[in-house]
Chains A and B, each alone.
Chain A
Amino acid sequence: MSQSLSFRAMAIAREAEPVGSLSEVKEAGLDREDLLGIYRNLLITRGVEERGHILYRQGKIPGSFYTGRGNEAAAVGVATAMRSDDVGTPLHRDMGVHIVRGVEPWRIFAQYMGREDGPTRGKDGNVHMADMRLGLIAMVSHLPAMLPVAVGAALAFRIREERRVALGWFGEGSSARGDVHESMTFAGTRKLPVVFVCDNNQWAYSTPTHLEYATEHVADRAQSYGFEGVVVDGTDVLAVYREAKRAIEKAREGGGPTLVECLTLRMEGHAVHDDAFYVPKPMFEAWAASDPLERFRTWLRENASMTDDEEDEIGAGVKKLLNDALQRAEDSPMPDPSELLDGVYATPEDLDTPHHK
């Protein structure tokens, strides 16, 4: 009689504790102003994408439309831990990174709508954009092709002995591709100042995690590349911040890479066309109950005594910011077809930027 072999994958990565009190947060280097700033950035992040949905329904966004609803705390938490001269390659769930780094929402709306004032001037859509002056490198569709690029940025910092760190994002689904392996192998052997951030939102389009990887955590793999892996609750913006900060500063001090896996949610379909029929209903309900924005709002009220007035003021400020941004983006013209051929090849003057010098 054959017996089925059953084994449980064992976690190797460190499982990070949640952040509790205000004093713990202070230890992590955040004062009350910072906390309210984080809350504001979370609201802007969600607000931008909610308005994106409205624009989409109005037929103003060509092509498809993706959001990071449920992933905001992971993105904002990591980006808040970066220093201004650090760089990163955020992906389609990481709008919060653009917001924290200071991308203006009106430019994002212009990008969504293919307008002249989008960062890509209509050449590309969605979150396929980034402002290099803010240390952000624009993603491509191919996942996770930006990881080797982040490693290359870290290599440049290492060669020049600059105390800067590169952050590379990837999803748990795209962790299957060889780019991850090559990036981590190279970064590990050379102890490069790079932090790998995995947004594990439990789905790769319609594919669940058990068909994506066989370990308990994606971060368990870090050990085989010679560095630490950490798993953190990606709906806990403060815990994400703390773990990202540790990893980033470790990299800055020459301690090499870390793989930070944020367990997040995908509170919508893969993209706007997808009703996510394959996601069990209870899962959606559980996600709704662990909304990262609501979680942090409650935390602020309970632990940092955020008042009604403060909350209203932040909410109203964000609303106004986004309404003005929408208006400005709608006023932006469509690109002229004559620009199609512009910039296929760079000119020497293109290299006249601070980072290329």
Chain B
Amino acid sequence: MAELTYLQAISDGLRTEMRRDKRVFVIGEDVGVYGGAFKVTLGFQEEFGPWRVIDAPLAETAIVGGATGAAMMGMRPVAEMQFSDFVSCAWDHLVTIAAKQRWRVGTPVPIVVRLPSGGGFSGGPFHSQNPESSFAHIPGLKCVCPATPEDAKGLLISAIEDPNPVLYFEHKHLYRRIKGEVPEERYTTPIGKARIHQEGDDVSVVTWGAMVYTAEEAAKQLDGDGVSVEIVDLRSVMPWDKPAVIESVRKTSKVLVLHEDTRTGGFGAEIAATIAEEAFEDLDAPVKRIAAPDTPVPFSPPLEKAFIPQVDDVVAGLRELAEY
């Protein structure tokens, strides 16, 4: 096993699939010569040529709509949005065509859209968003949100293999910060299966993406109080691993749902509602949510810090639950 950054693991997964399967190709803005805005596809064009690593015009509709058409013709496109925020320009094609074609007319659309998402670098309102809950709401789409390098590779391979349109949310704040052991061989990580990031007995945190590490740091601080925290990393929000969440809730009887996306209508609301429906009797405290406030993502550092849930916020939330 090699130690790779989260970003290297994404490249590794993509390269693995492109070497294995000629149908897989990459399309996006500046993905070729430049290697992508974040360099995920650096060196790919040299290896796979300009017709498998396609520099598209600045045209998200053509990129995602084009990927859809190519997939219908038997290809396995991996489209890159330069930032997840720009997927709004391709919303129509994901929601109107890719998501519905299998159900309406029986034509599967096996595409992957890579979405560099998340904040923490003063990207401002248009380079920081986490739009996964908007898409999780669309029947026919799948949404994966890896947190570790190992899952980044495995989930990308699963996404490419999957016969459905899969939105692959890669968190920018994990790209170079998070390193981990990644198997060199090809493997898949099942979509819809959570991972227990750390076991604990007193409070559960249900989260995904970069917030896994925020939860981890908060949990360390609670160690001192003698409170043991279990962290459930969902890994994908559509489909999501309901049984794993319910099981953790049954074990700890207290749960914090944590996400970087805004609060109202965020995916955490779905999780909280499901816990209320299916595990009410197992709860010893009300379900708690910590999420960003309902505003666009701000630019200036103190504002952004107030927006993105911080370790201290999570510590406070966990203490409140522990003491309840």
Q: List residues of chain A with CB under 8 Å of any chain B CB.
A: 87, 119-120, 123-124, 128-130, 132, 137-138, 140-142, 145-160, 166, 178-179, 182-183, 185-186, 189-190, 342-348, 350-351, 355-357
Contact = CB atoms under 8 A, between A and B. Distances in A.
Contact of B106 (A150, A156, A178, A350): A350
Contact of B105 (A138, A146, A155, A166): A138
B105 A132 contact: yes
Contacts of A151: 62, 65-66, 69
Given A145-B96, A145-B97, A148-B61, A155 B69 contact: yes
Interface of B: 25, 27, 51-52, 54, 56-57, 59-62, 64-75, 77, 92-93, 96-97, 100-110, 139-140, 142, 163-164
B103 to A, nearest CB: 5
Interface of chain A, helix or strand or loop or mixed? helix
A347 B106 CA distance: 11
- The listed residue with most B CB atoms (<10 A of its CB), out of A151, A345, A350, is A345
Given A182-B57, A185-B57, A158 B51 contact: yes
Given A132-B72, A345-B163, 18 more contacts: A142-B92, A145-B92, A148-B64, A148-B68, A149-B72, A151-B66, A152-B73, A153-B73, A160-B75, A178-B61, A185-B59, A190-B54, A343-B106, A344-B140, A346-B109, A346-B110, A350-B106, A350-B163
Contacts of A119: 105
B108 A155 contact: no
Contacts of B72: 132, 137, 149, 152-153, 355
Contacts of B108: 346, 350-351, 356
B69 A344 contact: no
Contacts of A137: 69, 72, 107
B294 to A, nearest CB: 29
Contacts of B54: 155, 190
Contacts of B109: 346
A21 B266 CA distance: 67
25 contacts: A123-B105, A132-B106, A137-B107, A138-B105, A140-B97, A145-B97, A147-B65, A148-B62, A151-B66, A152-B65, A152-B66, A152-B67, A153-B69, A153-B72, A156-B75, A158-B51, A182-B59, A182-B60, A183-B61, A186-B59, A186-B62, A342-B103, A343-B106, A346-B109, A356-B110
A350 B102 contact: yes
Contacts of B140: 344-345
Contacts of A189: 57
